[in-house]
């Protein structure tokens, strides 16, 4: 049997992971609230993450970004507070593409060495290293202090008298200063000024961004003339393309294993088609993950753009969330994978990330256990990668009012803060479990079990899939709106997976059609032994096309029944 592993990504918001301060105050600065460091990712911490089942860590927020913390004594230019969101700042308002954020370093002048050490430490502990690439926009006051010799600053040679020029790095509103409809002064003595105004990162091509815009960022120019609709991609290749390729190659040379590319669909697919093959020519195993939300672009960004994986947000995530919240029928799961015909293995499944509300928050399910059946589907339905967000496996609620982020059910990306469940799980770096509740330990054990099954079971890792929805509709012993069932098969091993989105137990009879036995090359078995891989319990099962397979499933739970064929 192949020993390949399913890709399982553990996303961590880097500055929050190691912060042990349990008395943070809203809007607190780094001195009051503290900040986690790269050094907090010890071999012990990385080993615990690997034991959970992760194959890769996505360290979110590594690259230097705009902040209200003053690092002038380290020759880092300060940012005007009016164009920084929160005290810590957004990790997607990149201030220097060639540097590591100083917040993350114990020895700030040695921050790149600390990063390089973390890459090596991650690899020594058997994990891949993923970092962000943010290509669409930068901080309003972008300036690279660490610019490699021979490179030019973004915008250094721009013609600022033109709204668009093919070789400009930015878009301008000539003759007009920035007049944002937000607080342009903040805590500074003088308001922020920008002349001429640059276009804002969320495609706002005027001088008047509002508080709900990405007002702290400016849009990069990849050769698309938004004023006339023309696209200037070749003869010559736009200057921004060359600068971005250099940045990708700079970080790839550090030995990382992948890039998660922020808002990739806001950058023309032609750039990716040009850049990714050049990077992969030198680093063929490097993984590219795209944040793409428009399904009509999926195949273009995979086939032309050469991405390895895309976010499955508007498909599987939105559907599973709606089912968990009793707003959608479980039959919708079938429609989602059918829409991905031919590309499902290239979709990244998840139930949480830094953009989305926590499952256990009041804004989502209110209870992390309610999403266990959804997580079984997300992790086990197909061979594609799955991602969890740090604290998800502990039921982190994300209900703090941290500062700029507010009480929104998300873990802040703008503020200096400490994550309750992670802080107690770490317990000063011991990871001894003594600070966790029994409920948290049980939830973590369920996640660990499911994620590790993704590696040990060939049927999940690389097996065939058969959806049983169409033969289980309208039956009196299967509620297709609140239960979902499917098969996975590899070699002589078959998994019958049944999940129950309802709070109360269900005794179901799962119909398996003759076509499934033919399609998956399975014999019908009047009686067979089946082991539930989640509980370890064995049962006798009828595995035939002419009678339903009887399965009892607890509320907010599921069973993965393994049958070894003769």
Domains in the chain: ranges and CATH: 8-139+240-455 (3.20.20.80), 461-564 (2.60.40.1180)
Say what the pTM is: 0.97
pLDDT band, residue 274 (cuts 50/70/90): very high
- The first and second tokens of residue 347, run together, are 């979709």
Phi, psi of 533 (to 5 degrees): -70, -15
Q: Does the structure show a pLDDT above 90 at 476?
A: no
Asked if residue 2 has pLDDT above 50, the reply is: no
The mean pLDDT of 560-564, rounded to a whole number, is 98
Task: Report pLDDT digits (tens) over 111-163.
Answer: 999 999 999 999 999 999 999 999 999 999 999 999 999 999 999 999 999 99
Q: CB neighbours of 298 closer than 8 A, spacing ≥ 6?
A: 292, 310, 340, 343
Q: What SS3 class is residue 433?
A: coil
- Dihedral class, residue 326 (left if φ above 0, else alpha if ψ from -120 to 50, else beta): left
- Whole-number average pLDDT of the chain: 97
| E strands in 395-548 | 464-467, 483-490, 493-500, 506-510, 525-532, 538-543
Condensed to tens digits (0 to 9), the pLDDT of residues 20-46 reads: 999 999 999 999 999 999 999 999 999
223 by Cβ neighbours in 10 Å (0-12 / 13-18 / 19+) ranks as buried
Alpha-carbon torsion (266, 269, 274, 279), positive or negative:
positive
The distance from CA 143 to its chain's CA centroid, rounded to whole angstroms, is: 27
212-230 pLDDT per residue, tens: 999 999 999 999 999 888 9
- The answer, yes or no, to whether residue 1 has pLDDT greater than 70, is no
3: pLDDT strictly greater than 90: no
Looking at the chain, the whole-number percentage of residues with pLDDT higher than 70 is: 99
């Amino acid at each position: 049997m192949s020993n390949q592993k399913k890709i399982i990504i553990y996303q961590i918001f880097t500055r929050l992971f190691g912060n042990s301060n349990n008395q943070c105050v809203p809007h607190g600065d780094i001195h009051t609230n503290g900040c986690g460091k790269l050094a907090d990712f010890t071999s012990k911490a990385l080993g615990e993450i690997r034991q959970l089942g992760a194959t890769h860590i996505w360290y979110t927020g590594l690259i230097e970004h705009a902040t209200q913390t003053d690092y002038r004594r380290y020759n880092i230019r300060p940012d005007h507070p009016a164009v920084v969101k929160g005290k810590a700042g957004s990790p997607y308002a990149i201030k220097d593409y060639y540097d590591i954020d100083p917040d993350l370093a114990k020895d700030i002048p040695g921050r790149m060495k600390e990063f390089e050490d973390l890459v090596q430490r991650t690899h020594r502990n058997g994990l891949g290293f993923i970092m962000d690439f943010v290509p669409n926009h930068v901080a309003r006051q972008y300036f690279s202090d660490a610019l490699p010799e021979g490179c030019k600053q973004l915008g250094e040679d721009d013609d600022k008298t033109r709204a668009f020029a093919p070789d400009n790095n930015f878009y301008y509103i000539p003759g007009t200063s920035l007049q944002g409809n937000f607080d342009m002064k903040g805590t500074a003595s003088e308001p922020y000024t920008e002349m001429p105004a640059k276009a804002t990162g969320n495609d706002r091509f005027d001088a008047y961004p509002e508080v709900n815009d990405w007002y702290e960022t400016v849009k990069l120019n990849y050769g698309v003339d938004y004023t006339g609709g023309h696209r200037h991609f070749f003869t010559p290749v736009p200057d921004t393309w060359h600068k971005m390729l250099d940045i990708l190659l700079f970080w790839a040379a550090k030995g990382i294993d992948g890039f998660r590319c922020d808002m990739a669909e806001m950058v023309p697919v032609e750039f990716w088609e040009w850049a990714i093959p050049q990077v992969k020519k030198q680093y063929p195993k490097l993984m590219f993950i795209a944040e793409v939300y428009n399904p009509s672009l999926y195949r273009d960004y995979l086939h032309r753009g050469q991405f390895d994986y895309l976010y499955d947000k508007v498909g599987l995530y939105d559907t599973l969330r709606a089912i968990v919240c009793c707003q959608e029928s479980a039959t919708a799961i079938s429609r989602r994978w059918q829409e991905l015909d031919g590309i499902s293995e290239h979709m990244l499944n998840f139930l949480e990330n830094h953009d989305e509300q926590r499952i256990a928050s009041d804004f989502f399910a209110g209870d992390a256990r309610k999403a266990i059946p959804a997580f079984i589907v997300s992790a086990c339905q197909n061979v594609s990668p799955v991602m969890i967000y740090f604290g998800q496996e502990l039921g982190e609620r994300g209900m703090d009012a941290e500062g700029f982020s507010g009480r929104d059910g998300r873990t802040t990306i703008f503020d200096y803060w400490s994550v309750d469940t992670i802080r107690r799980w770490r317990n000063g770096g011991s990871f001894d479990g003594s600070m966790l509740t029994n409920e948290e330990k049980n939830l973590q054990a369920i996640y660990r079990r499911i994620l590790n099954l993704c590696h040990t079971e060939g049927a999940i890792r690389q097996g065939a899939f058969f959806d049983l929805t169409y033969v289980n509709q309208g039956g009196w012993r299967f509620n297709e709106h609140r239960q979902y069932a499917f098969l996975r098969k590899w070699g002589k091993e078959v998994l019958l997976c049944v999940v129950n989105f309802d709070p109360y137990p269900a005794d179901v009879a799962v119909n398996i059609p003759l076509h499934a036995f033919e399609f998956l090359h399975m014999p019908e078995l009047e009686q067979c032994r089946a082991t539930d891989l989640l509980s370890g319990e064995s049962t006798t099962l009828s595995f035939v096309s002419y009678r339903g397979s009887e399965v009892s499933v607890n509320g907010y739970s599921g069973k993965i029944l393994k049958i070894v064929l003769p």
